[in-house]
Amino acid sequence: MKSTESFRSVVIFGGAGFIGSNWAHHLLTQTEAKVHIYDNLSRRGVHHNLEWLQKTAGRSGRLQITIGDVRDSAMVERVTRYATEIYHLAAQVAVTTSISDPRHDFEVNVCGTFNVLEGARKSGNHPFVLFTSTNKVYGDMAEHALARDGRRYRYVSTSGISESQPLDFHSPYGCSKGAADQYVRDYARMYDIPTVVFRMSCIAGERQFGNEDQGWVAHFLYTGMVGNPIVIYGNGKQVRDVLYVQDLVKAFEAARAKIQVTRGQVYNVGGGVANTTSLLELIEEIEKITRHKVEYLYEQPRLGDQLVYITDCSRLHADTGWHPVTSVRQILEGIYHFRKQNPHYFPTVEEPVAGRIVVGALPLQRTA
């Protein structure tokens, strides 16, 4: 049932992407908000998300789409002029890409975020701004001793990482997202804009077109479903906590609803201790769901990878009452059924070449 509330004009940068489209769908179906999606359509599969959202909005007049880049300051300023809420999800998201092209990473993640903040400031409306940052801002966290337990690593002296963890970037991607989230935080202090930063762990769920560099849970599942070998960088005992995208959507609403408490704050957001998995453990779960053996290959660890990252979500819970409710198994089952129900969303050519996965490109369809 849609809620009754004051007028909401929402701009979502990166709104055609995995998280953005799920958030936009929630707004269109559960609220009366007007939704403006701003996206450059650079990610594989996102045009399917736009078509889904257009079908959802129908003739309501509540959905607007702008094809643009966050590096275009003039266009960003135009689309934020009347916004009451801004969700900045657009980013360069791969550590590997940041290493090979750090300038592009900087321009998208730092300059793009600066453009969004300036758009919010110049509008004079003091819109709510939520920025999705990353656990990579904490670097390798070498001060936390690790031990091996069977098919996973674990922390020796802590259960999860809180916001008190020192920033220590360790990759161009960590640097760019860390710089951006500090800009977002400081705009709350200097310009009285109610901003919130989410430093997120692994997010997974339906409408995720994962690859090796981003969306690895979906990538592992999809690769296993078509019978290709999965590439594991390292020994596979690396651990992450996984958060279901619909639980993240609820966290967005919780942060906005408690804006008098959350404004200017930074929160670590993830699945928490109850929703952790190693790469090898995830493969075991995939085998149970697909009911066939999944092959995998080992390659050298990648630069900037954290052996363990588990989120301590207690601060966000204390401030808003939010907590994750969906298990890793339930998340995998949701992604599995999404792919089964939408085979036309996926490339027809997926085959291993020289021990790596090559995924055929989908045609890009621009929507004005």
| CATH code where residue 244 lies | 3.40.50.720
CA pair distance 252, 266, nearest whole angstrom:
13
Distance of CA 253 to the CA centre of its chain: 16
- Would residue 33 count as lying in a domain? yes
Indicate whether 365 pLDDT > 70: no
Residues of the chain with pLDDT > 70, as a percent, come to: 92
Band of the pLDDT at 158, cuts 50, 70, 90? very high
Mean pLDDT, residues 16-43 taken together: 96
Report residue 367's pLDDT band, with 50, 70 and 90 as the boundaries. Answer: very low
CA neighbours closer than 13 Å in the CB half-sphere of residue 229: 13
Whether 367 is covered by a domain: the verdict is no
Mean pLDDT of 71-97: 95
- Residue 84: per-residue pLDDT: 98
pLDDT interval class at 5 (50, 70, 90) = low
The residue with greater pLDDT, 346 or 30, is 30
Domain encompassing residue 43: 9-359
Q: Is 155 a catalytic residue?
A: no
The percent of residues in the chain predicted with pLDDT above 90, rounded, is 83
Do 235 and 298 form a contact (C-beta atoms < 8 A)? yes
Q: Sign of torsion, CA 241 139 21 118?
A: positive
Note the pLDDT tens digit of each residue in 100-134.
Answer: 999 999 999 999 999 999 999 999 999 999 999 99
Least confident segment among 53-67, 118-132, 264-278, 295-309: 295-309
**Is 4 contained in some domain?**
no
For residue 52, being part of any structural domain is answered with yes
Residue 50, classed as helix, strand or coil, is helix
CA dihedral 140, 144, 145, 147 (to 10 degrees): -80
Residue 244 falls inside a structural domain: yes
Is residue 127 one of the residues assigned to a domain?
yes
Task: Tell me the backbone φ, ψ of residue 277, rounded to 5 degrees.
Answer: -155, 145
For the record, the structure tokens of 322 come out as: 């939010």
> CA geometry: angle at 172 spanning 43 and 69, to 5°?
35
Residue 368 lies in a domain: no
Q: How many domains does the chain have?
A: 1
222-225-227-233 Cα dihedral, nearest 10 degrees: 40
The secondary element (H helix, E strand) that includes residue 198 is strand 195-200
In a domain, 3, yes or no: no
Q: Which of 173, 183, 187, 345 is catalytic?
A: 173
Contact (CB, 8 A) for 43 and 71: no
Reported as a single tens digit per residue, the pLDDT across 170-194 is 889 999 999 999 999 999 999 999 9
pLDDT of res. 366:
28
